Amino acid sequence: MKIVYSFNKRGFEAEYWSREIAAASTRDVEFIPFNHDPYLDPQCYVRAQLLDNLYYVTEPRLMRLYSDLKELLARSQPDVLLVDNCPPYHPEFLRTLDIYKALRICDGPVAAYDRDFAYLHAYDHVLYHSPAYSRDLTMPEKLQYCGAKRYDFWPLALFDAFFDPRLSEPELAALTRDIDVIFVGALHLNKMPLLAAVKKAFGRRFQIHGLASAKHNVYFNLKYGFPQWVRPIRFEDYVPLYHRAKIGVNAHNRGKYTVGSYRLFDLAGNGVAQITDGGEFIDSFFVPGREVDTYDDAAHLVGRIDHYLTHPAERLELAIQGWRRVMKDHRIGPRLQQLRDLLAPAVAGC
């Protein structure tokens, strides 16, 4: 089986996505990475209506992308076109491609009506990264309700570039970790109250890094009493920083309804004891209380952090069990191999 894997990434991310997707190829399945980012800024088509506007006026950069993709498909003769991240392919264009088409949705309900549900009819298969969706429906129930032809659970995973495979379990456990608590991620408005509460409780012992505009930083500090100016870090700096952290906080945009981020695997894969939201859905990825711990609200999170800071043996055990689970089940190579089992029967039957 051959799979063209279309995604949009830049710089360091683009390098390791391309490298590790291609490296997952075996005798049974070949992965052909195709980065659709360089053609035009994804913000130009971040919503389905924006893409429709570009397609209507035959935007030259978009047309060049479509032409290059068609040339790649003709040259490589793949069995599947898999589209990940922000999809740039208009349904009317996809309709002209005689190939099995799969869409990977990984932003959850916060983006579902912008760039997921509008495209379901154009794909033969939908791969969702989390079983969570809303108070009323799970993601598979929502996809069925929306008329998706076929759908399967396919979680995110840990890329090799985001941990150090050279470190053994004893070496990872022996690292000197001088940062008590850390959060690395985008400073979204609905995460601010939680992060501010943890910052208030632990002060400089809690470090926050990630994407935050000046506007978001000003709002965060004025609204919550100047907890911290949040600055971005390079992707290359994630692993060294995680190796210094004892405890990692994981917070998703809509709490348990968006659980399943890359951070879920990055923290555990670097030996960081993880405390995450996720509720009843977390056990789709880890054993709660053994491989990760969970919280329900800010006060609960503060209490769990304090517990693990004062019980280092329990913290280390949580971190090691989480690391073992990621190494066993959640690395990118084996995750990509799962695609063959998910897609091959569908492709054969179409």
HEC profile for the chain?
CEEEEEECCCHHHHHHHHHHHHHCCCCCCEEEEEECHHHCCHHHCCCHHHHHHHHHCCCHHHHHHHHHHHHHHHHHCCCEEEECCCCCCCHHHHCCCCCEEEEEECCHHHCHHHHCHHHHHHCCEEEECCCCCCCCCCHHHHHHHHCCCCEEECCCCECHHHCCCCCCHHHHHCCCCCEEEEEECCCCHHHHHHHHHHHHHHHHHEEEECCCCHHHHHHHHHHCCCCCCCECCCHHHHHHHHCCEEEEEECCCCHHHHCCCHHHHHHHHCCCEEEECCHHHHHHCCCECCCEEECCCHHHHHHHHHHHHHCHHHHHHHHHHHHHHHHHHCEHHHHHHHHHHHHHHHHHHC
pLDDT at position 348, please? 86
Alpha-carbon span 331 to 276, nearest angstrom? 19
Domain count, the chain: 2
Scanning the structure block, which residue is given the tokens 């084996």?
A: 334
Residues 113 and 180 in one domain: no
Residues 176 and 319 in one domain: yes
Residues 111 and 21 in one domain: yes
Domain hosting residue 255, numbered range: 161-329
pLDDT at position 217, please? 95
Residues 303 and 183 in one domain: yes
Residues 223 and 314 in one domain: yes
Residues 13 and 149 in one domain: yes
Residues 148 and 219 in one domain: no
What CATH number is associated with residue 287? Answer: 3.40.50.2000
Residues 60 and 117 in one domain: yes
Residues 98 and 186 in one domain: no
Residues 38 and 122 in one domain: yes
Residues 105 and 232 in one domain: no
pLDDT at position 107, please? 87
pLDDT tens per residue, range 261-298? 999 999 999 999 999 999 999 999 999 999 999 999 99
Residues 261 and 115 in one domain: no
Write out the chain's pLDDT in tens, 350 residues: 999 999 999 999 999 999 999 999 999 999 999 999 999 999 999 999 999 999 999 999 999 999 999 999 999 999 999 999 899 999 999 999 999 999 999 988 999 999 999 999 999 999 999 999 999 999 999 999 999 999 999 999 999 999 999 999 999 999 999 999 999 999 999 999 999 999 999 999 999 999 899 999 999 999 999 999 999 899 899 999 999 999 999 999 999 999 999 999 999 999 999 999 999 999 999 999 999 999 999 999 999 999 999 999 999 999 999 999 999 999 999 999 999 999 999 898 77
